[in-house]
């Protein structure tokens, strides 16, 4: 019962952080649209959608440096497809794929001689605990602003079951659906 309360507290805390982050982004987008030439900037970078997608891919693979919500907002009126839903779906697929790649990187880095001491020192000690809560960690990374790719690498390094990983990581699509709907209506 105590573990459930601990999990619930972490989940609620991170969901609240995610909602706070989303609220902040909505306010930021509103301020940018109202008081700057933000739409002109979006129009300018829309000339190079492949460059925008490349930056998104790099960001998602390298620990989610740029929040995906910026790209979701960009895809509202730009992107490869004519519909917002298709553009957001592409971003969600890219993000999910980056998580799978992160899992693969994590599962292979533990065998590289250079990283072996770090793995032994930091991950092996907590391997059982990480494996026990891996699904929960993936869920937190998938639906909140916690870096999804980093969580996927960590879970991959613990040799968490890949099929379970794919199933839990698919909740990443829920984040894109929720955030894109919220950003669409501002």
What digits encode the pLDDT tens for the residues 21-56?
777 777 877 777 777 776 677 677 777 888 888 989
Model confidence, pTM: 0.77
| 55-61: long-range pairs with CB below 8 Å, 24+ | 56/91, 56/94, 57/94, 57/98, 60/94, 60/95, 60/98, 60/99, 60/148, 60/149, 61/98, 61/101, 61/102, 61/149
What is the domain partition of the chain in residue ranges?
A: 2-184
Largest Cα–Cα distance in the chain?
54
């Amino acid at each position: 019962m105590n573990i459930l309360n601990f999990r619930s507290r972490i989940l609620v805390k991170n969901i609240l952080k995610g909602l706070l982050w989303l609220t902040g982004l909505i306010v930021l987008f509103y301020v940018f649209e109202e008081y700057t030439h933000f739409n002109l900037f979006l129009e300018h970078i829309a000339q190079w959608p492949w460059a925008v997608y490349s930056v998104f891919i790099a960001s998602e693979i390298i620990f989610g440096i740029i929040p995906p919500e910026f790209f979701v907002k960009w895809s509202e009126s730009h992107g490869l497809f004519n519909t917002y839903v298709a553009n957001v779906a592409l971003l969600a697929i890219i993000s999910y794929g980056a998580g799978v790649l992160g899992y693969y990187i994590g599962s292979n880095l533990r065998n590289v001689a250079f990283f072996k001491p770090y793995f032994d020192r930091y991950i092996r000690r907590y391997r059982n605990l990480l494996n026990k809560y891996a699904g929960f960690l993936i869920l937190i990374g998938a639906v909140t602003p916690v870096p999804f790719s980093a969580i996927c690498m960590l879970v991959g390094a613990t040799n968490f079951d890949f099929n379970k990983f794919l199933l839990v990581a698919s909740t990443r699509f829920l984040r894109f659906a929720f955030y894109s709907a919220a950003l669409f209506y501002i």
